[in-house]
Amino acid sequence: MSQKLQGRNAIVTGAAQGIGKAIAVRLAADGASVVVADVNLKGATAVAAEIGKAAIAAECDVSSEKAVAALHVLAAAKLGTVDILVNNAAIVPFTAWDDVDLAHWQRILDVNLTGVFLMSRASSDLMRKMATKGTIINLASNSFFAGTPNMAAYVAAKGGVIGFTRALATELGKYGITVNAVSPGLVESDGVKASPHNNAFEFVQMLQALPGKGQPEAIANVVAFLASDDARWMTGQTVNVDAGMVRW
């Protein structure tokens, strides 16, 4: 790979599998030291072992303020600072509207939106304390643009992530910290393959400009670009990576 991220330190949440794993692997291949964070410590440990000495595994529930604080204490102790935060951790439900109750709604927002806030709060504070001109990359979803059914809470949360990305970019720009979002389409990840969403690929491909099934590595490639100096003049943006399903 390019080694464009040599000497930089990254945290990737939800990195035990799927898109998060692909991002962690790619950032490490480009030279970054990576904290592989996930609520599934066993999975995170396996990914960190696969990456090698450039990775540290950490258990973290991003919806827990205490867990997020502990993760950043670890990152500061092991790495000194955080240059790159990738907010990937999410719960992807398949729940019809009539089955959405307050507990479901709250749980999805706690992880998918509040988790992005908590991680961004802690990482941006550490970046500013260490005078680091870092970058925050949030994983949104093209379901926000499509209004995908059976995902009402998820779509609402990802819309919030896009709005938060724009606002946080405005707040942090004066410190030299960029904030962008990546909006994947349907991706053939471990989680999708084990869910009813796996049955949607044929329909989704009819809406895409490019044929084929999205792969985690395609998302990781764009995240790696946004994490590099090549994207230093970009902030507050949402980049759709969905084979042209959403065109705007």
For 140-199, write each residue's pLDDT tens digit.
999 999 899 999 999 999 999 999 999 999 999 999 999 999 999 988 888 888 788 888
- Give the tokens for residue 48: 């960190």
CA–CA separation, 145 and 189 (whole Å): 20
Tokens of 45: 């440990």
Rounded distance between C-alpha atoms, residue 136 and residue 223, angstroms: 10
Closest of 37, 234, 27 to residue 122, by C-alpha: 37
Confirm if 117 and 179 have CB atoms less than 8 A apart.
no
* Amino acid making up residue 135: T
Between CA 35 and CA 212 the distance in angstroms is 31
pLDDT at 95: 95
Catalytic residue among 144, 154, 164, 225: 154
- Axis-axis angle for helices 152-172, 102-109 (nearest 10): 30
175 assigned to active site: no
Q: What is the mean pLDDT of the chain?
A: 95
Burial class (CB in 10 A: 0-12, 13-18, 19+), 118: buried
pLDDT given at position 195: 81
pLDDT of residue 199: 86
Is residue 33 within a helix (H) or strand (E), and if so which, with residue range?
Answer: strand 33-38
- Rounded Cα distance between 25 and 230, Å, is 19
Secondary structure element (H or E) that encloses residue 179, with its range: strand 178-184
SS3 state at 178: strand
Contact criterion met (CB below 8 Å) for 20 and 220: no
Distance CA 122, CA 32 (A): 20
pLDDT recorded at residue 1: 62
Residue ranges in the chain modelled with pLDDT below 50 = none
pLDDT at position 220: 98
Token pair of 68, please? 């997020």
**Domains of the chain in sequence order:** 9-239 (3.40.50.720)
Question: No. of H helices and E strands in the chain?
Answer: 10, 7
Please say whether the dihedral angle defined by the alpha carbons of residues 131, 52, 22 and 89, taken in this order, is positive or negative. negative
Structure tokens given for 76: 């500061």
Query: How do residues 206-217 score in pLDDT, each as one tens digit?
Result: 999 999 998 999
